[in-house]
Amino acid sequence: MPDSYTEINKISYGDNIKNSFGGMILGIILFLASFVVLWINEGHNVNQTYKANYMDKNTVNVTVDRMSRDNDNKLVYLSGIAITDAVLTDGMITVPNAFALKRTVEMYQWHEEVDTKKKDEIGGSTTETKTYTYKKVWSEDEIDSENFKKPGYNNPKFPVKSADFYAETGKLGAFNLTTRQSKSMGGYLKYTNLPQVYGYDLIKDFYYKGEPRVPKVGDIKISYEYIPSGVEISIIGQQKSDNTLTNLILKKTSVYLQQDGLRTKDEMINSFRKGNAMFTNIIRILGWFLMFLGLSMLINPLLVILKIIPFFEKIVGFFTGGIIFLISAALSLLTIAIAWLAYRPGLSVGLLTVVGVIFFMVKKKLKPAKDAKEEPQEELEL
């Protein structure tokens, strides 16, 4: 059973109000940051789209076995089997004919989990209950135990850490490969041909220091992965006079694309487009969320003041949450539309129309109900 420690704090109504006003500063920062994130993201999207279009129109198809000086400094596409005679070592093991070697070091450590629960009380105060749970886990990251809430759970320092090693040379037909290509490769395989090493036990396909049957804090596991010679890769890059492939430098960007496997030029570019679309949409959602969170923190003092009547505070919070959702969505779309004006004026017009509809909905929701007109009463004749 993991060890645990519970701490109960009473936060007064006044402290809740004070803390909420302090959070307004962070809310302003998040709100402003959301515009920057959305704007930069759209610029990045336009940049990546330009890259894809440039590769589609200007890439020269070449074969890996023949080198033509006519293609020097041009953007070329090639696909084939990469080989290397590089020998990679980390001081413990040596792996011949490998493009990459990854050493993963894990230590058995104490890990602190914090579970926080808050309960609003009548009168505006809050009861906060924090439960700190301590359990042992295998982790590649060094867990700092000095800041644990409860002392007595101490983690030692790593005697050796995870590391990556890459081949500096290789061949793709007539082309020379460099560290750049080695670092861009994927498809790691587990390395199992491990020799005996002093100070470690060899267990299956990893090294162990300690007692594997009853692990203790500070025990170490070391495993290896590698990319062997003979992998298949595809590249779109600038051909240089030294037979290497690198970035083609354009006015505002550079072009280089490398993918695992034997892929056609069209497959590479389509995959690049899909990846860019997914990344762009994820950052758009992130930008909107930052805006939503920032606006929520800006009005939080109002909700905290209403905590004196928790039920009323929840009703107001639900109503304002809907309004903030619509406002943040509208402002996010407006920011994206304005960013598109310089690059995609046709699309921005349609997006601005959507923004106008959202603002109309918000205005209609906030518009106070008009008093019903009373019909004029007839004067009674005496």
Domain ranges of the chain: 3-48+276-366, 60-262
pLDDT at 160 over 80: yes
Share of the chain above pLDDT 90, in %: 60
Closest residue by Cα to residue 223 from 255, 185, 192, 251 = 192
Q: What is the pLDDT of residues 27-53, one digit of tens each?
A: 899 999 999 999 999 989 989 999 999
* Of the listed ranges 122-131, 188-197, 357-366, the one predicted with least confidence: 357-366
pLDDT at 36: 94
pLDDT digits (tens, 9 = 90+) for 289-299: 999 998 888 87
| Residue partners of 282: CB distance under 8 A and separation at least 6 | none
- Tell the residue number behind the tokens 């923004």, with chain if given: 355
**What is the C-alpha separation between 88 and 86, in angstroms, rounded?**
6
Q: Is 261 left (phi over 0), alpha (psi -120 to 50) or beta?
A: left
pLDDT for the residue numbered 271 = 97
Please state, in angstroms and rounded to a whole number, the distance separating the CA atoms of residues 168 and 103.
18
121-144 mean pLDDT: 88
Predicted TM-score of the model (pTM): 0.79
The lowest-confidence range among 90-104, 122-136, 182-196, 206-220 is: 122-136
pLDDT, greater one: 230 or 20: 230
Contact 301, 17 (CB under 8 A): yes
The yes-or-no verdict on residue 16 having pLDDT over 80 is: no
Mean of pLDDT over the chain = 86
Local confidence band at 373 (pLDDT 50, 70, 90 cut-offs): very low
pLDDT band at 309 (very low <50, low <70, confident <90, very high): low
Q: What confidence category does residue 380 fall into, taking pLDDT thresholds of 50, 70 and 90?
A: very low
Strand-pair category, 126-139 with 98-120:
antiparallel
Q: What is the pLDDT of residue 22?
A: 74
Mean predicted confidence (pLDDT) in 336-358: 66
- Interval 361-381 mean pLDDT: 51
- pLDDT over 80 at 306, yes or no: no
Average pLDDT over residues 83-97: 96
pLDDT band of 379, cuts 50, 70, 90: very low
Q: Looking at the predicted structure, is the pLDDT value of residue 188 above 90? A: yes
User: Given pLDDT bands bounded at 50, 70 and 90, which one contains residue 370?
Assistant: very low
Instruction: State yes or no: pLDDT of 316 exceeds 80.
Output: no
Q: Which pLDDT value is given to residue 61? A: 95
Angstrom distance (rounded) from CA 143 to CA 182: 31
Q: What is the pLDDT of residue 313?
A: 56
The set of residues, in sequence order, having a beta carbon less than 8 Å from that of 200 and lying 6+ positions away, is 207, 208, 209, 220, 222
For residue 350, what pLDDT is reported? 60
Q: What is the pLDDT of residue 83?
A: 97
